[in-house]
Amino acid sequence: MRTATFQVAALTRLFEEQSVATMDEMKQALGTAVDMTVFRKLREIPYMTSYSHRGAFYTLRSVAQFDARGLWSHAGAWFSEVGSLIDTVERFVDRSSTGYLATELAAELRVLSASVR
């Protein structure tokens, strides 16, 4: 039996059309029900995951238009040029001359944790 072939071009077209996609949208674009297939195809392109929404949103690095703080948002999903929320928090704190209260940092990064609310 021949193994199905999935084209990474389907993912790049999806990102060209809508900038940001979820795992389910990428699986639909590829015609698969398997997350691992999507991850294999993502390895072929420079992608990013959101630091908000527990990384549920994906985009291409070339699509993101980062502001001076290194952040970009699309449809409520937030992305950082340094990647994860932890790396983004570290960058903000390192660049701050006075530091941040947790509430200030959560507001700046547009994320709220149970301890900050």
For 44-58, how does the pLDDT look when each residue is reduced to its tens digit (9 = 90+)? 999 999 999 999 999
Confidence of residue 107 (pLDDT cuts 50, 70, 90): very high
Burial class (CB in 10 A: 0-12, 13-18, 19+), 8: middle
Question: What number of other Cβ atoms are within 10 A of residue 63's Cβ?
Answer: 19
Q: What is the mean pLDDT of the chain?
A: 92
Asked, for residue 3, whether it belongs to a domain, the answer is: no
Q: Which residue has the tokens 């949208």?
A: 25
Residue pair 20/59 in contact by the 8 Å Cβ criterion: yes
CA atoms within 13 A on the CB side of 57: 20
Which DSSP helix (H) or strand (E) runs through 48? strand 47-49
Whole-number pLDDT of residue 116: 47
If one counts the domains in the chain, the total is 1
Average pLDDT over every residue of 82-86: 95
Question: What number of other Cβ atoms are within 10 A of residue 39's Cβ?
Answer: 12
Higher per-residue confidence, 5 vs 43: 43
Whole domain around residue 101: which residue ranges?
8-109
Asked, for residue 114, whether it belongs to a domain, the answer is: no
Residue 112 has pLDDT above 50, yes or no: yes
Whole-number pLDDT of residue 2: 54
Average pLDDT over every residue of 64-93: 96
Whole-number pLDDT of residue 5: 80
Q: Which residues contact 15 (CB under 8 A, 6 or more apart)?
A: 21, 58, 59, 60, 63
